[in-house]
Amino acid sequence: MSAGAVVGGAPSERRPGALAGQTVVVIGGSSGIGLETARQARSEGANVVLVGRNQERLEHAAREIGAQSSAAFDATDFERLDRFFDELPTTINHIMVTSGGPYYARLADMDFAWARHNVEAELWLPLHIVRRAVGKVRPGGTLLFIGGTGGRRPEAGTLIAAFTAAMPALTKALAVELAPVRVNLIAAGFVDTPLSASLLGDQLEARREQLRTTLPIRRVVGPADIAALAVHLMINTAATGATYDIDGGQQLVEG
């Protein structure tokens, strides 16, 4: 066998247009990491379908990147989510889910109604999507979830710590159950997105400056950094069942 030969599938080389003819669905695609991933997938030739709640923002994003279509709804409305999958005209190659959000509360401060909603968004939503992906996502494609490295510190918050521990295990179990569809998890640190801006308010610039000083990479991680990894995981058909840390080394230097 010649050097570099690949057994059991095509090699995963990244060439321009590596996603040509493929369909990528981004649930949470109108802002931040999801929008940037959709943009980079488009530039690799993919057709992209965007989901977000705010119709105006979604339509603006869809126009800006030349999305094939968009659908405005709350993804935690699981009946609506089912209809969305039923109405998709084609099979899909990849689905990325970026619509969740962190809940940093300690148990003592926890609003249980909001915590329950957060469980729906962070845990039930991926499971619903995976169920609907069976038969819709083509073999070799990936489901991509996003978690974080910050929640590995127990003091980050009760629920976020629990999800951070659970998601890699869930990803592994689903990768086995859904094969040959692939399932992967990206674990990000601070990413400079509208979500981060809204969480930090007037502390944003100070936080950026702190990260520029303390991170081993000496710069702030942006949505394009995460998007580049996401697109790589779509293209690289050897990647499944794994968690990919991308935090500029944040977990190495923060207590």
How far is 155 from 94, CA to CA, in rounded Å? 34
Q: Tell me which residues in 52-71 interact with ligand NAP (CB under 6 A).
A: 52-54, 57
Nearer to ligand NAP, 44 or 245 (CB): 245
Q: Tell me which residues in 74-113 interact with ligand NAP (CB under 6 A).
A: 74-76, 98-102
How far is 199 from 208, CA to CA, in rounded Å? 13
Look at residues 44, 142, 32, 31 and name the one whose alpha carbon lies nearest to residue 96.
Answer: 142
Minimum CB separation of residue 57 from ligand NAP in Å reads 5
Q: Does 227 bind ligand NAP (CB under 6 A)?
A: no
Sheet holding 137-148, edge to edge: 69-72, 47-52, 23-27, 92-97, 137-148, 182-188, 243-246
How far is 148 from 242, CA to CA, in rounded Å? 13
How far is 177 from 175, CA to CA, in rounded Å? 6
User: Torsion-angle region of residue 135: left (phi > 0), alpha (psi -120 to 50) or beta?
Assistant: left
Q: Tell me which residues in 111-130 interact with ligand NAP (CB under 6 A).
A: 121
Nearer to ligand NAP, 188 or 233 (CB): 188
Minimum CB separation of residue 11 from ligand NAP in Å reads 30
Nearer to ligand NAP, 29 or 141 (CB): 29
Q: Does 28 bind ligand NAP (CB under 6 A)?
A: yes
Give the interface with ligand NAP as residue ranges (CB under 6 A): 28-34, 51-54, 57, 74-76, 98-102, 121, 146, 148, 188, 190-191, 193-196
